[in-house]
Amino acid sequence: EAMAVRAGWRRQGHGTALMEQLEDVLRASYDFGALTSSVGAEPFYASRPWSAWQGPVSVLAPHGVEETTLERELYVFVQPADSIDVSERLTCDWRKGDLW
């Protein structure tokens, strides 16, 4: 969570190396991964095997499912890529701090 490449170190392959490791973990251990993009990083995620989430988002809060909003673009990693409809609703677990 909250990973970034310092501005002066960008476009040297560091983000790609980090994402390759993350994607390997997701492929080996999970059905699905999600992340929100920092401002300006959308082209980076779009160039990788991540898809922009198009559907509504919500949270499973202590009192039930509640609608949420996104402040940044949400990307998902799913293998195979077409196994989830990115226009459906996506619900995350409640937690303190940023939900997405």
Q: pLDDT tens for residues 78-91? A: 877 778 899 999 99
Partners of 67 in beta bridges: 58
The predicted structure's pLDDT at residue 19: 93
SS3 75: strand
pLDDT at 35: 92
Query: In the prediction, which pLDDT does 93 show?
Result: 94
Q: What separation, in Å, do the N-terminal and C-terminal C-alpha atoms of the chain show? A: 10
Which residues of the chain, if any, have pLDDT below 70?
A: none
Tokens of 56: 């509504």
pTM here is 0.83
Q: Which of 93, 63, 87 is nearest to 74 (CA)?
A: 87
